[in-house]
Amino acid sequence: MKGKYWISGRKLRLYRYGGEKMNISVLDIATLGDDLSFESVLRLGKVKFYDLTLKEDVIDRIKDAEVVVINKVKLNSSNLRCAKKLKLICITATGFDNVDIDYCREHGIAVCNVAGYSTDSVVQLTVAMAFSLATHLSVYDNYVKSQKYTQSGIFNCIKPVFREISGLVWGVVGLGNIGGKVARIAKTMGADVIAYKRTPTKEFNCVDLDTLCRKSDIITVHTPLNDETYHLINEKRLAQMKKNVILINVARGDVFDEEAVTKAVLDEKIGALGIDVYSTEPMQKDSPYQKLLKKDNVIFTPHMAWGAIDSRQRCIDEVAKNIESFIEGGNRSRIV
């Protein structure tokens, strides 16, 4: 990892657990980028960095580790049973569905996640997608770059027609940190915000999901993935939506039925689509979304909503605080 992950020149204070330096394995550091400082982690023990870790390499890389740091690597009974020294798993994300929590609980392995570190970054992309799709920015951009504007003989172009956000109904599905902030920004822009939340809040007009689908001009989705939210946006709910609705998923890929969503776009049943997350990542060659790659009313991004450099550095530093807390007997950000 020489030259990619830096520390300052000052001498590092190494933490000890039971009198020994802790063995820390970071299994998929490449998913976090090569532009971060890992000083906050390096001072906590003996750290081994791996760019990526394939399924067949997991056991070898965790068998002697006391702390394992992962982003998307899957840890389950088949590999965790070989990690006899493992005391703590730190996830560099909010979601923890890639870790067998029941196994960890049964075998005394602590698990920590990092919540809220990327809120502003995800909100930023959500709003950017909504504004871009609502204003047809890609169409207008292409109009100029293709020389059509130069050849037009007129000072402007105002087709396709677009509307102001003010006065539109913006439906927010999920009112956690991210959804709540998106809703506040939408409200500031003059949108009529309605929201779907299992536990309604007085801050926003909360409605059932079917009502939200029927009334909204823009729908942004911010739910975790679980049994209740799997294919939450499906053929039935797509059929309820306005023909010109803008639909955006920055949550989890499987919250959308990708086949149904693709068909709705191709059949012009919805107006525009913004996608940052996929049922299988990266997007596969047989993904239904492949059929939409040339559509002007669709924006795809590669699961990067969380990835502003500020949020990624914050994530690493929060992981370090979780490890330090564990060493000192605390339970900061503990799931188990």
Query: Mapped to the 3 state alphabet, what secondary structure does 129-143 carry?
Result: HHHHHHHCHHHHHHH
**256 DSSP β-pair partners:** 233
Short-list 255, 245, 296, CA closest to 276: 255
Count other Cβ atoms within 10 Å, centred on residue 333: 19
- Which two three-digit tokens encode residue 102? 């029941």
Taking the C-alpha atoms of residue 125 and residue 140, their distance in angstroms, rounded to an integer, is 20
Q: Whose CA is closest to 236, among 220, 214, 221, 219?
A: 214
d(CA 205, CA 184): 12
Cα–Cα distance measured from residue 295 to residue 293, given in angstroms and rounded to the nearest whole number:
6
Q: Within a 13 Å sphere around the CA of 90, how many CA atoms are in the beta-carbon half?
A: 30
Catalytic residue among 252, 258, 312, 318: 252
Catalytic residue, from 61, 136, 222, 303: name it. 303
Six-digit token string for 108:
């005394």
Show the tokens assigned to 267.
């059949």
Q: Is 303 a catalytic residue?
A: yes
- Residue 73 Cα distances to 31, 56, 166, 185, 251, angstroms: 10, 11, 42, 34, 19
Q: Which of 203, 268, 281, 328 is catalytic?
A: 281
Neighbours of 31 (CB within 10 A): 17
* Residues across the chain: 336
Which is it for strands 45-49 and 67-70: parallel, antiparallel or unpaired? Answer: unpaired
39 belongs to the catalytic site: no
281 is catalytic: yes
Q: Which amino acid is at 311?
A: S
Q: Which residues carry out catalysis?
A: 252, 281, 303
